[in-house]
Chains A and B, each alone.
Chain A
C-alpha cells in the first residue's frame, strides 16, 4: 500500500458486502479508500469512497445513517467482526478513523439475521423492531389535562435504571452481535424501561406476553446468555435487563 499524501491521512483496503436487492445474492467487493483523514468518522470515510464511485459512474455503497451524533440508532454495520466497529460503547457514526492504521483491511458487513432482511448493500430492514414495539412498547393513558410532575413519586434508583434501559436506540447491534441472532437485549431494555416505572406497571403483564410473543414470531434466535450483546451495544445496555424481562415474562405467564 502506498503511503498517503498527507501525514494525518491513511489508506485503507475495504471489503464491502454488495447486494442489489433483498432477493438478490450478494457478494464481497474490494475497494481502496485513499487519503482518508484520521479526523473523519467511519461514515464520512464511506462518503469519500462513495463520491469517487459516483464520479466514475459506479453504484455507491448504500448504508443507513441519520443524526451522525450517536443518538438516533440509524447507522450500524459489522466492521471487522464487531458491530459498530472496534470501539466500546460507540455507534458507527461516532467511530473515528484514527482507530485504524495505514494499510488496514476493513471488512464491512450488514447486520445478519433472518428477521433483518438486507434491503441493499449494508442497509437492513429493521421493521421487526417496530413490530415488537407496536405489540406492547407503550403505555396507555387517557388524554386530558397534564398531570402534576410530582404526582407519582418514583424512587431515584428505579428512575436511573429505567433511564439506563431507555438509552437503547434500537440500532439492532444486539441482534447482529448475538451468536444466535436473538433480540432479547432490545426487548429486555424496552420491557425494563416501562416495568421499572409506576406508569408502566398497569400493562406490565400484557406487555411482557405480547412483546415476547411477537419477538418469537418474527424469527429471532434464543438467548444463550453469552453477553456478546452487552459488550457490543453502543449504549452499553446491561444483560441485567434480559434477566428482568425473563422475570416479567415468567411472572406474567405462570402466575
Chain B
C-alpha cells in the first residue's frame, strides 16, 4: 500500500502549529488542577480549617491585648483605638484578610459538616463516649455557627457604629451598661472559649505537628489559651459595670 506523504505532512504541520500557539496555558491549567485537588481532599480541607483557625487565634490574642488597655483608663483605651486606626491601609488589609479567612472557614466548615453527616446514613441507637470527645469537640459546628452570628452582631455594635460624636470608650460604656447585653456578651465569650479549646490543638494535629513530644504542651497551651480568651474577654463587661 502506498501512503500519501502530502496528507501526512499537513497533519503533522497542523499539530506543531497548534502546540506552539498555546503551550503555557496547558501547563498552567495542570498546575491549578493539581493544587485544587490537594486542597479539595479531606486533609486539604482540614488544612484550610486549621490555618484559618490559627489565624483567628492570633487575631483573638491581639484583640484581647488591645481590649485590656481599657483597664489602664479611658485615655489609654481611646489612644489605643486611635493608633490602631492610624495604621490605615494595614488595618484595611487585615480586615480583608480576616473576611477572606472567615468565608473560607465558614463555608468549608459547613461543607465538612455536611460530608460527615452524610458518611453515616443510619445512626446508632446507643452511642457512648469513650473519653476522646470533649465539650469543645462535640459542639464544634454549633459553637461555630453561634460565633458567626455573634461576629455579625459585634461588628454592627462596635465596628459599623456611628463614631463621629462619641469615642469608642463611650460606645463600650453605653453598650455594656445594658445588663442583658453584658450577660449575652459573657455567654458568647464562654462559647468562643469552648470552640477554641478544641480548635487550637486540633489545628496543630491537622498540620501534623502533633506527636508524643508535643502532645501534652499543645493540649496545655490550648487549654490556657481558651481560658485566657474566656476569662479575658468575659471579664471586660464585669470590669466596666464596676467603673461606670
Where the two chains meet, the residues of A that have a C-beta atom closer than 8 Å to any C-beta of B are 15, 28, 78, 80-82, 88, 107, 109, 112-115, 177, 179-182, 184, 212-213, 215-216, 219-232, 238-240, 242-250, 253-254
Contact = CB atoms under 8 A, between A and B. Distances in A.
B124 interface: yes
A243 B210 contact: yes
A156 B198 CA distance: 34
Contacts of A28: 125
A114 B210 contact: no
Interface of B: 38, 41-47, 112, 115-116, 118-134, 137-138, 140, 198, 201-202, 205-212, 215
Given A223-B46, A227-B132, A239 B205 contact: yes
Contacts of B132: 226-232
B37 to A, nearest CB: 8
A254 B43 CA distance: 12
B132 to A, nearest CB: 4
The dominant DSSP class at the A interface is mixed
A180 B112 CA distance: 10
A114 B126 CA distance: 18
B174 to A, nearest CB: 40
22 contacts: A28-B125, A78-B127, A82-B130, A112-B120, A179-B133, A180-B119, A181-B116, A181-B120, A212-B42, A212-B43, A219-B119, A221-B115, A221-B118, A224-B137, A226-B132, A227-B132, A231-B130, A238-B212, A239-B210, A240-B212, A240-B215, A246-B207
B208 A243 contact: yes
Across the A-B interface, the 7 shortest Cβ-Cβ residue pairs? A247-B208, A221-B119, A81-B128, A227-B132, A180-B116, A231-B130, A81-B126
A221 B43 CA distance: 11
A251 to B, nearest CB: 8
